[in-house]
Amino acid sequence: MSDVVIRKKPTVAKEASIKSAPEIKKEKTPPAKSSFGKTASSKNFIARSPRSPFVEKPFKISQFRFKKYFIIAGALVFIGAGVFVLGYLSSVSVEVIPRQEFFLVDASLRSAFSDPSVIPLETIYLEEKNNMSRVTSGLEEISEKASGQIVIFNTYNSQPQVLVRRTRFETPDGKIYRIAKSIRVPGAKVEGGEIKPSSIEVTVFADDAGEDYNIGLSDFTIPGFKGSDKYDKIYARSKTPMSGGFRGTAQVVSADDIKTLESDLKSNLSENLLGRVKTQLPEGFIIPVDAFRVVVKESNFSAKTGERADTLNAGMTISFEGFAIRYSEIEKSLNERYLTSEPEGAVQIVNLKDLNYILEDINFDNKSMVLNVKGQVHAAWVVDKDSLISDLLVAKRGQRMEVFSRYSAIKDAKIVYSPSWWPFFPDQKEKVNINMTFIQFFQ
C-alpha cells in the first residue's frame, strides 16, 4: 500500500483592498464664556460630578471692603482713645535734692513787744470761767438755829416804833424767833382819815437750835407788847419759810474740800484755756514753755469751812496771758548768725520745730523775754517750684536736665515718669509734682 498523500487544495487569497478608516472629526465645542463676557480658560473649571453641575457664584467685593475699612477705623479710634487716656492720666514727679547745710546752734534770742531792735513779740490774752461741785467730807456735831425773813407792820400810830436787839417774835404754836439788832419800824400813814400800815423787812433767828424751828409761812406777835394796845397793832408775817435749824452730827465743809475743789476747778479751766490757745494760735507762731501765766481773776464758794453742807459748789474765772513769736523770725536770726556764707536766695531750717526752746527770762510787765535755742540745725536752700515747673514745661526733651543746673538752690534732681513706660513730659503744670528730698544725717 502505497502511501497516499492527500494534499490540501491551496487557498487562493483574495486580494482585499484595505482602506484607511475614515477620520472621525471631533465637533469643536465653542469655549465657554464667563459672567464677565470673557472666554474662560480651561484651568478655571473644576471637574464636577454629572449630578452636580457647575454653577459660578458672583464675587461680593463691596462687602469685603466695608469690613476692612471698619476694622481699620475701629483700630484707629481705639489707639487714639488710649493715647488720650494716657495723656490725661500720666504725670511726672521731679525729685529734687536742694543744697543743704548742717550746723550746731546755742543762741539766746531777745524779743519784746515794743522794741524794733529785737525779735517782735506778740501777746495773747484769753479768759475762761466755769462752775464745779463736790461732796463735802467733813463730819461734826453741830447746833444751828433756823432763820428766815419776816415783814413787821405798824398800824399803831404815825410815830416810828423802835424794837431793841433780840426782840422776840412768837408763832401761834409758841415758837420764839428774835431779831439780831435794833430796828426802827416806820410810823403808820393816815390817808383820808384811815390808818394805813407801814412795814419793814428783817431777818429773825430761832430762839433755840434744832430742826423743830424749820417752819413754813406764819404770823407773828410780839410777846413784849402783850397787855398793851401795841400787841394787836404791831405784828409780823413771814416772807420766807424758816430753815437751817439742825442739831446733831452733820456733813460740813472742810478746809481740804475748799482746797481740792479750787485746785480741780483751776486745773479744768487751765486745760480748757490752753486748748483754746492752741486752736486759736495763728500758724507759724510758737508760745515757749512757761512763757505764759494763768491767773485766778475771781472765785466763790457756796459755803465756808466748818459750815454744814452736803455739797460744796464753786465758781471761778481765770485768765491766760502769754507771749508768742514767729518761727520765721527765729529762722532769720539763726541763719544770720550761723550760715557759713551769704546765701543765694532764701534758706529754710527744715527741723526748726524740733530744736530745743528754753525760756531764760520773762517780764510780763515790760512784755519781753529771752529765749534760748539749742540743737543741730538742718538748713536747706529754697527752690522756686513754680519757676522750675514753668522752665521744665517749655524745655525740649533733651534739655530738661540742663534746667536744673540753672538753679543754684538745687544740688541734684531727676524726673520720674508715671507710668514709667510713657516717657512724655506733660504740657500742664498741674501734672508736674515737685518733691523735695532732704538729707537726714549730719555731714
Mean pLDDT by 10 residues, the chain (443 residues): 40 40 48 45 45 53 62 64 53 90 94 92 95 95 95 93 96 97 93 86 97 97 95 96 94 96 96 94 94 95 93 97 96 88 82 96 96 95 93 88 91 86 80 87 51
**Per-domain residue ranges for the chain?**
60-89, 90-99+382-436, 140-250
- 3-state DSSP of the chain: CCCCCCCCCCCCCCCCCCCCCCCCCCCCCCCCECCCCCECCHHHCCCCCCCCCCCCCCCCHHHHHHHHHHHHHHHHHHHHHHHHHHHHHCEEEEEEEECEEEEEEEEEEEEECCCCCCEECEEEEEEEEEEEEEECCEEEEEEEEEEEEEEEEECCCCCCEEECCCCEEECCCCCEEEECCCEEECCCEEECCEEECEEEEEEEEEEEECHHHCCCCCEEECHHHCCCCHHHHEEEEECCCCECCEEEEEEECCHHHHHHHHHHHHHHHHHHHHHHHHHHCCCCEECCCCCEEEEEEEEEECCCCCCECCEEEEEEEEEEEEEEEEHHHHHHHHHHHHCCCCCCCCEEECCHHHCEEEEEEEECCCCEEEEEEEEEEEEEECCCHHHHHHHHHHCCHHHHHHHHHCCCCEEEEEEEEECCCCCCCCCCHHHEEEEECCCCCCC
pLDDT recorded at residue 63: 61
pTM: 0.60
pLDDT recorded at residue 218: 97
